[in-house]
Structure 1
Amino acid sequence: MASTQQYGDANQEHQHGSNIQQNPSTSLGWRHEKDRETDSRPNAPNPPQSSTEQEFDPIEPLTWPRRQKWVITVIISCFTLIPPVSSTMLAPALTQMSADLGIKEPVVSQLTLTIFMLAYAIGPLLFGPLSETIGRSPVLLVANVFFLLWTLACGLSRTVPEMIAFRLLAGIGGSAPLAVGGGVIRKSDLWAAEERGQAVGIYSLAPLLGPVIGPLTGGWITERTTWRWMFYSTSIAAGVAGVIGLVFLRETYTPVLRRQKQPRETVPSGGTSESLTKRLRLAFTRPLQFFITEPIILVVAIYMACVFGILYIILSTFPKVWAEVYGESPGIGGLNYLSLGIGYVLGSQANTHASDAIYRRLQKRKSLNNNDDNLEGEPEFRVPTMFVGSVLIPVGIFWYGWSVQARTHWIMPNIGSFIFSLGSVTCMQSMQAYVIDSYARYAASGLAAAVLLRNIAAFGIPLFAPYMYDALHYGWGNSVLGFAGVVIGIPSPFLFWKFGKKIRGRSRFAPQ
């Protein structure tokens, strides 16, 4: 490659990657030491914390008009919403689809549903770093076409192996917005720290609201027509989103925008392909590096795995609960997913406003204590709302499980689901914002590493849900999940709040 002036911060990392190979003693030192020295200079300019403080710069998305930033944020949120809808839309139709495809084992039937989440664990490892190499926009648009084609193939499948393979490939394409969106909605792309809460709230609501919308619509599609139309309708939605994105979506990654503005400045002769290869190799291995070496990512990943595993157990077993316990049809039973959806929407809006307000208040207190009005906030300022959310999660699970066990009125398990969704969306949003704030320009890779274990849990845990409920029934079966939420969930916010800054201080990726 050429110089860092030509390619920006992303290539500083590549240059250091070359030095790593020459100096094994610094093999874990991915951050360029020159960056640290430059950041600590007394006369080095501090980036402003709000786009209103900067003049418009076409290669600095942080300075773009708010309307344009919101258009991009909403489009990416739509891209992020559609694949999760497809991930669970099949749940109400598992019985009908199993009969058509000749599936007899419950675990195989569940596999056709959850294999999508295994793809969600694989895809971000590629798309997150790739978006930091060639840009956000091309990754999103191409992956959306990939998702559309394989989702359409699912609707045309005639055998079980075809369905499983096509669902896996569709999930890989659908995972791109999950990996790329976190990088777009961060400081070096669109939003300053104190403005980011609401944008992150809308973006992170999509992967939680999507799995609720899927079964809700899937139930009525199953009643009115064939299960194949669930895939056809999702393909149509992906096509519409793709056209809108092609027209309105803009590149937001500053190093790529610099290269687009200076197309004549190229790397030395013969070095282009080698440079790109090295950058991709470093980028693809970075999420795994995060997962292994970053304690923050490990804790976030375990917590996300717990919450998402529980969520997908509930989502995958909801149709059976309402059909067998309450005798409801697929369409009417699907309406019960509204309790989760309402909880996610209300919880998301409440949490984003509360998170931003708390962040600004704590930032102001920090500035007053240090007599410096320009001090930035800290990632730990996103944690306070998690204290509430981590308690609501097990409360909702216990309420839901024992209400179903006692066969109470249908509103009671829905109240439990509502409480669970309030807590889960609060914690999920706060954790995503915490990772984004902690890792700045490595946010996409950080999120890819953080969601790895979460999506593996969403894939594997529901496979055993039918056997768990057969053995323990809904009361004690959900109590096992609730106790897991207590043991793993409740201590985590205290860990972040008390030790988060100290742990980040030892990180080679988190800016100090």
Structure 2
Amino acid sequence: MMDISLPVRSTPETFSEVSDLEVGIRTSTDNDHSLDKKKDYVITNIAEFASTSHPAHPRNWPWWKRWLIMMVYCALQIYVIWTSNAYGSISTSVQDYFHVSAQVSTLNLSMNILGSGLGPMFLGPLSDINGRKPVYFCSIFLYVIFNISCALPKNVVQMVISHFITGLTGSTALTNVAGGIPDIFSENKSGMPMSLFVWACAGGGIGAPIGTGVDSNPKFGWRWLYYINIIVGGFFLVLILLIPETLPMKVISRYELAEGRIIEALPKVKTSEVFQKMKFISTMGFRMMFTEPIIITMGLYNFYAYGISYFFLAAIWPVFNLNYKMSSMSASCTYLAGFVAYSLLFCYQPIQDRIFRRSKKGNNGVVVPEARFTSALGFTLLFPAGMFLFAFTCNPPFHWMVPIVGLAMSSIANSHNWSSILNYLTDCYPMISASAVAAFTLPSFVGAAIFAHVSIIMFDKMSTKWAVATMAFISISIPFIIYSFYFFGEKIRVRSALTGTKAIKYLPISD
């Protein structure tokens, strides 16, 4: 019996790649008569499953395979987001059908958003330990089922509950895509995939014209929004079955078992370990949300920033439909200004990636997560600037393109900040990336749910100009948050109990 250890690179920080962890592998050989048999490797250290040097690690797959997986899952993200964006276009029809108030009808939207925030708190940790693919398939299957319930509700209560569950199950796209990017891309190459994910989130904006189109067509009606979801969801279920698992621990363990090796580090099926997993799944996201300064601050930022996107979704009707006398379809299409802005930002991402690689090279090859915010120092200023431009030009005699430019400016800043934050979180929490993303997103969706209702009151009680201007004054604080993490992020990380590889001791797997 002999011990073999992979070489370990010494780094001054805990934010080096997971492959830097020491990996212990016991190799047993017998006498010459056993040479005709396959050698028996006994893997005893869980760090082996996270080693990027392993030939089966998803990061070592062909580039085309990794990007194909990424594009499929980003398309899935567009699919699940368009429902919440589309509902604003059919809300009045649902209100008339059930004879309820605007606030009650909007509960369908807010509960969908709230479910989208709560879902990742459980689906994120679940995918971190049991794999991405099973979580994808089961949750999207339930998403399709409850879209049937949304299409054929007996009353508005059933529809509200069904919307909450579709948000809960559909949130797997947000959790698994963002949290799974580190599975298949190194931190040097994760910028473009994360930017594509953010672009896909903006792509959900096509839901607004889709909702308007089916609702205004006498041959269809609002129910067809959900019928379309059912059809497209069935297509994605087939694709998910064809896409491989990407969680490194799962992929590498299957490879080793197929090679005839014994893996002692795999969790044993014991009652105590089942409860340990359940505890991890149900508490890790909430623990991070309430104890990690990085998650708390970023969550508060996105509480406002993501809420503003739904505030603008409500604003397009009084601004473009009433003030500028546009048709319902034309007003819906103005929301796609954000999609155009995100597309332009996606083209900029290679420059940000180059800045990040240079910062890493200048730090002796050690990742500097704060470098993710370098470009954001400039872009984030567009957030309040765009909101003020929208607020004070959203009425004639200003041309309707002027407030759209303001919307695009805020969208560029918001999308770049969001992409930077997601990359920052996956750099800071590589061992529990999906859990970190989940903890970050819950306040975001709570904010969006609140803003969906607050916007109704504000646009009813205030002029459009001052409703938006009020939010613009609040947005002045956004740049200060980004600047704070750029300059003081390292000090915050050092005091964290879960950043870097420190979180490995909390994973419910024996090593």
TM-score band, normalised by shorter chain: 0.7 to 0.9
1:99 aligned residue: 96
d(CA) in 2 for partners of 1:253 and 1:338?
34
1:65 aligns to 2:71 (yes or no): no
State yes or no: 1:456 paired with 2:446: yes
Q: 2:110 aligns with which of 109, 114, 117?
A: 114
Q: Pick closer, same or farther for the CA change 1:37–1:242 going to 2, 3 Å.
A: closer
Q: Deviations over 1:214-246 (max 9, x none)?
A: 102211222223011111112212221221221
**Is 1:205–1:429's contact at 8 Å kept on the other side of the alignment?**
no
2:237 maps to 1:242: yes
Matching residue within 378, 385, 405 for 1:388: 378
1:494 paired residue number: 483
Confirm or deny that 1:213 pairs with 2:213: no
Contact 2:92 2:102 in 1 (8 A): no
User: Whole-Å Cα distance in 1 between the matches of residues 254 and 163 of structure 2?
Assistant: 36
Q: 1:38 to 1:431 in 2, by over 3 A?
A: closer
Q: Between Structure 1 and Structure 2, whose CA radius of gyration is higher?
A: 2
Alpha-carbon separation, structure 2, partners of 1:271 and 1:148: 32
* Equivalent-residue separation in structure 2 for 1:158 and 1:357 (angstroms): 55
Match of 2:507 in 1: none
Q: 2:222 and 2:157 mapped to 1: Cα distance?
A: 17
In 2, distance between residues paired with 1:386 and 1:411? Answer: 25
Mapped partners of 2:386, 2:150: distance in 1: 34
Deviations 1:158-180, CA, capped at 9 Å, x for gaps: 32111101101111110011111
TM-score by length of 1: 0.84
Question: Alpha carbons of 1:407 and 1:470: their partners in 2 closer, same or farther (altered >3 Å)?
Answer: farther
> Cα gap change, 1:258/1:272 in structure 2, threshold over 3 Å: closer, same or farther?
farther
Q: Secondary structure at the match of 1:185?
A: helix
Structure 2 counterpart of 1:226, one-letter code: G
Instruction: Map 1:80-479; keep pairs closer than 5 Å.
Output: 80-103=77-100, 105-186=101-182, 189-210=183-204, 212-224=205-217, 225-247=220-242, 249-261=243-255, 262=257, 271-350=269-348, 352-367=349-364, 375-406=365-396, 408-479=398-469
TM-score between both structures, scaled by the size of structure 2 = 0.84
Q: CA RMSD in A?
A: 2.8
Shift of 1:270: 8.7
Structure 2, unpaired ranges of 5+: 5-13, 25-44, 502-511
Pair 238,319 (structure 1): closer, same or farther in 2 beyond 3 Å: farther
The Cα of 1:267 is off from its aligned counterpart by: 9.1
Measure, in 2, the Cα distance between the counterparts of 1:260 and 1:169.
33
Q: In structure 2, how many angstroms separate the alpha carbons of the residues matched to 1:107 and 1:407? A: 32
Q: Partner residue of 2:499?
A: 510
Whether the 8 Å CA contact 1:92–1:319 is kept in 2: the answer is no
Q: What per-residue deviation string (whole Å, max 9, x for no partner) do you get for residues 240-299 of structure 1?
A: 12212212x111112223443438768999953431221221232111111111111111
Deviations 1:281-336 (A, max 9, x none): 12321111111111111111111111111111111332343222222222222221
Aligned-partner Cα distance in 1 for 2:396–2:368: 46
The letter for the 2-side match of 1:218 is G
Letter in 1 for 2:221: T
> Offset at 1:406?
4.7
User: Whole-Å Cα distance in 2 between the matches of residues 155 and 323 of structure 1?
Assistant: 27
| Alpha-carbon distance in structure 2 between the residues aligned to 1:510 and 1:77 | 27
Q: Is the 8 A contact 1:136 1:253 kept in 2?
A: yes
Asked if structure 2 preserves the Cα contact closer than 8 Å seen for 1:322 and 1:333, the reply is yes
How far the C-alpha of 1:384 sits from its partner, in A, is: 1.1
**Contact kept in structure 2, 1:78 and 1:241, CA below 8 Å:** no
Paired amino acid for 2:413 = G
What is the letter of the counterpart of residue 496 of structure 1? F
Q: Give the Cα–Cα distance (whole angstroms) in 2 for the partners of residues 495 and 106 of structure 1.
A: 40
Distance 1:143 1:270, change over 3 A: closer
- Are the aligned partners of 1:80 and 1:206 in contact in 2 as well (CA < 8 Å)? yes
Amino acid aligned to 1:253: L
Partner Cα separation in structure 1 for residue 227 and residue 19 of structure 2: 51
What amino acid is aligned across from residue 239 of structure 2 in structure 1? I
| Offset, 1:358 | 0.9
Q: How far did residue 444 of structure 1 move?
A: 0.5
Are 2:80 and 2:170, in contact at CA under 8 Å, matched by a contact in 1? yes
Q: Distance in 1 between matches of 2:247 and 2:21?
A: 21
CA distance in 2 between partners of 1:382 and 1:268 (Å): 35
Secondary structure of 1:161's aligned partner: helix
Give CA-to-partner distance per residue, 1:467-492, whole Å, 9 cap, x none: 112222111111111111112x1101
What SS class does the counterpart of residue 188 from structure 2 fall into?
helix
Distance 1:396 1:456 in 2: 24
Bigger mean CA offset, 190-199 vs 152-161: 152-161
Question: What amino acid sits opposite 2:165 in the alignment?
Answer: L
Structure richer in helix, relative to its length? 1
In 2: Cα distance, 1:173 partner to 1:431 partner: 24
Give ranges in structure 1 of 5+ residues lacking alignment. 6-30, 368-374
What SS does the corresponding residue of 1:193 show, helix, strand or coil? coil
CA distance in 1, matches of 2:301, 2:146: 31
Is the partner of 1:444 in helix, strand or coil? helix
Residue 148 of structure 1: how far off its partner (Å): 1.1
